[in-house]
Structure 1
Amino acid sequence: MRFATRLPGERGLAEHDADQIALIRGQIMRVGDRWRATHPWIDGHQDEMGMAIFVAAIIGVLGDAALYATGLLPWWATVLVTALWLSLLHEIEHDLIHSMYFRTNKWVHNSMMLGVWLFRPSTINPWVRRRLHLHHHEMSGTDSDLEERGITNGQRWGGHRLLGLLDTMLGYALRPFHMRRLVHAYVAQAARDPEESRRLAVTTPLGYFPLSAVHYGLWYLTIGVHLYELFGGHIAYPSAHHALDVVAVTLLAPNMIRTFCLHFVSSNMHYYGDVEPHNVLQQTQVWTAKWLWPAHALCFNFGGTHAIHHFLVRDPFYVREAIRAECQVVLRTHGVRFNDFGTFRRANRFGLAASTTGSVEV
């Protein structure tokens, strides 16, 4: 058989693109199969691997906090190392969303979902995100792709986009009507009936509550207290101030910097606007430039491996990283773009030149 099986959404594409997508998917599948055959123990214990990484990352976060609290780890190292652990928890959450761990044990599965949310309180409720993310795979690059549109994908570069990447909640707050339109576009496309439409219209905007409200409230309080001190104010409760600083260094700041790195990479490596629905060739590019290493270090090389995931969802994140080099050869050979940094000028459009982007969103 020459090509792997086409998915239903791909049957409406031009024959060349549909064949290319099937060919890429088939080759990536064979690369993964060879890796699995070479590492049978790891492949046969996918649930255990996910749990081991989950537990190790949580121990890492708690260990960093203990070392910082006892003065053995400086604040800047605590922030960076903890952000590394949190990037692993993000990958675990993403794999859980695709039901890669404990698919048949709902108690363990949902406990892990809760755990990755508690340690990454700046993020959306993972059960809400599951629906958003699966819709992202279905409608990537279109108006209803709320997961990417919500993190500035498709916006013209400027002060607001940078602010939205640095602080997701503030970015939302400064453009409430824009966010309302994005949610409506998502609900209109994702809902299968009026009842589901009403449910999504309520649950989607509430996805950041309650944990993100607490996270950002404490973050803004920390900034406010330090600004107050900077301008000569006196803090009446130094012990509470110290406790707030510990939380900020060990959890809040690592989440902020990790989220910025992930959103910067994700929102710019995905294309938007002039892509065909279901055309995976037009959904993402691959980022391998060396100047991206600092950002990739805090989002587990997202730009280097995420395109693999769009073509083949099957593999957990550590398998994608293990087979990354060979898969990138496949992607490059069959026309997937690499390091297309012109997308910064084109507001993430796939094919239009900067002077002809038409209705680029402001």
Structure 2
Amino acid sequence: MRIATRLPGERTLAAEDADKIAHIRGSLIEIGNEWRARHPWLTAHQDQVGLGVFLIAIAGVLGDGYLYAIGVLPWWATILVTAFWLSILHELEHDLIHSMYFRNNRVLHNVMMFGVWFFRPSTINPWVRRRLHLHHHEVSGTDSDLEERAITNGEGWGAHRTVSLLDSFLGMYTKPMRTHRIVSDYIEHEARTPEEVKHLRAINVLSYFPLGLFHYGLWHLVIGLSAYHLFVGPTQLPGEGVLYFLAVAILAPNMIRTFCLHFVSSNMHYYGDIQAHNVLQQTQVWTAKWLKPFHALCFNFGETHAIHHFLVRDPFYVRELIKNDCQKVLRDNGVRFNDFGTFRRANRFGLVNTSMEP
């Protein structure tokens, strides 16, 4: 069995944990290598596979919108099926952030980066997210992990966390001091010079510009119009038909997909009382059957993301295909499964008593 090399940060861990992490990583590498040996064409054409999946998912989104427009798909089916295609685009974005497709062709790489953002305008700029996500891997579960804390990881359950999962913009603006604090924690850790502090503040302020502002502006207009009709009655306003078409074809699918992803991700990651760089404590694995509806709209994120924390190299479809063998390795080596006590612990790992973020 191959034992993987320890990453630099893991050299500060207790020998038992560091050895266990290296053993898990080595096992996952071996599982992936065996799969690649059986399917060499997928490995040899990883760029083309990624591009093919990208085009199929976009065709799915556009096709759903067309079928809804001509009356073939009902509104609820359009929202759910489109959310599924968008969940695939999210996985592609994540792979692109790790430069898994067209690493040596920046034009095609950036075309794909823009495409996954354009059809998922509820998300931040993916070029901004790249730095946040790579930082997340370095500091997962600690105060400067802006990517996870921004989607409510570490926050106690209550009205604000619920609202934030349903609508990221409302979450930011209904608790602005929390938003300021978690951004400041990230910048304090990440910035090396005063100029970099200014740069990071600027790009974080503009991270939703322009697509996110457009998306949430239209979505809040849809909510406002719906409330207006509820109290005043059905009156057709100019442009309302186009607005409600966009709501079904792209706005609502993005909202429900984002909710499912953020609910799963923010609760399967631990926060606040874990040891820096200790991958054993960063995530758990969710396999419970009641999670299937959530996983259907975030591409099984809770079952496969822990694999990615131990070993970054595999694209999302490989992780999905080898997940059963990988999950056995994780379970046998002490990674937690279905630890739903995290809901009442505000995502604390539970090793020691720590204060919980309100």
Q: Classify the TM-score, shorter chain.
A: over 0.9
- Is 1:85 matched with 2:85? yes
Show structure 2 runs of 5+ residues with no match. none
Name the structure 2 match of 1:224. 224
What's the CA shift for 1:327?
0.1
Name the structure 2 match of 1:243. 242
Name the structure 2 match of 1:95. 95
Name the structure 1 match of 2:118. 118
Counterparts of 2:323 and 2:166, CA distance in 1: 28
Name the structure 2 match of 1:252. 251
Cα deviation, 1:120-169, whole Å, max 9, x if unaligned, reads 00000000000000000000000000000000000011111111101111
Counterparts of 2:106 and 2:150, CA distance in 1: 29
Name the structure 2 match of 1:329. 328
Name the structure 1 match of 2:16. 16
What's the CA shift for 1:209?
1.3
* Letter paired with 1:122: S
What's the CA shift for 1:358?
3.3
Cα deviation, 1:282-334, whole Å, max 9, x if unaligned, reads 00000000000000000000000000000000000000000000000000000
Name the structure 1 match of 2:150. 150
User: Do 1:219 and 1:248's aligned partners in 2 also have CA atoms closer than 8 Å?
Assistant: yes
What's the CA shift for 1:192?
2.8
Q: Secondary structure at the match of 2:100?
A: coil
Cα deviation, 1:46-84, whole Å, max 9, x if unaligned, reads 000100000000000000000000001000000000000
Name the structure 1 match of 2:356. 360
What's the CA shift for 1:233?
4.7
User: Do 1:156 and 1:347's aligned partners in 2 also have CA atoms closer than 8 Å?
Assistant: yes
Name the structure 1 match of 2:350. 351
Change (3 A) 1:39 1:230: same
Counterparts of 1:169 and 1:361, CA distance in 2: 20
Name the structure 2 match of 1:293. 292
User: Do 1:165 and 1:171's aligned partners in 2 also have CA atoms closer than 8 Å?
Assistant: yes
Counterparts of 1:235 and 1:95, CA distance in 2: 45
Cα deviation, 1:257-290, whole Å, max 9, x if unaligned, reads 0000000000000000000111000000000000
Counterparts of 2:2 and 2:111, CA distance in 1: 42
What's the CA shift for 1:357?
3.9
Counterparts of 1:56 and 1:171, CA distance in 2: 33
User: Do 1:349 and 1:357's aligned partners in 2 also have CA atoms closer than 8 Å?
Assistant: no
* Letter paired with 1:304: E
Counterparts of 2:306 and 2:241, CA distance in 1: 43
Counterparts of 2:345 and 2:27, CA distance in 1: 31
Counterparts of 1:259 and 1:359, CA distance in 2: 28
What's the CA shift for 1:235?
3.7
Q: Secondary structure at the match of 2:207?
A: helix
Name the structure 1 match of 2:36. 36
User: Do 2:273 and 2:354's aligned partners in 1 also have CA atoms closer than 8 Å?
Assistant: no
Counterparts of 2:223 and 2:197, CA distance in 1: 38
RMSD of aligned Cα (Å): 1.1
Q: How does 1:201-220 map to 2 (within 5 A)?
A: 201-220=201-220
User: Do 2:3 and 2:27's aligned partners in 1 also have CA atoms closer than 8 Å?
Assistant: no
User: Do 1:235 and 1:241's aligned partners in 2 also have CA atoms closer than 8 Å?
Assistant: no
User: Do 2:152 and 2:165's aligned partners in 1 also have CA atoms closer than 8 Å?
Assistant: yes
* Letter paired with 2:287: T
User: Do 1:346 and 1:357's aligned partners in 2 also have CA atoms closer than 8 Å?
Assistant: no
Cα deviation, 1:162-209, whole Å, max 9, x if unaligned, reads 111011110001011110111011011112333222211111121011
What's the CA shift for 1:36?
0.5
Show structure 1 runs of 5+ residues with no match. none
TM-score, scaled relative to structure 1: 0.97
Cα deviation, 1:202-241, whole Å, max 9, x if unaligned, reads 1112101111111011001111111111112564535x11
- Is 1:140 matched with 2:125? no
Counterparts of 2:112 and 2:236, CA distance in 1: 39
Moved more, 72-81 or 219-228: 219-228
Task: Work out the percentage of aligned pairs sharing the same amino acid.
Answer: 68
* Letter paired with 2:306: A
Q: Secondary structure at the match of 2:206?
A: helix
* Letter paired with 1:72: V
TM-score, scaled relative to structure 2: 0.98
Change (3 A) 1:19 1:206: same
User: Do 2:2 and 2:27's aligned partners in 1 also have CA atoms closer than 8 Å?
Assistant: no
Name the structure 2 match of 1:278. 277
User: Do 2:269 and 2:347's aligned partners in 1 also have CA atoms closer than 8 Å?
Assistant: yes
Counterparts of 1:147 and 1:289, CA distance in 2: 25
Q: Alignment length, in residue pairs?
A: 358
Name the structure 2 match of 1:164. 164
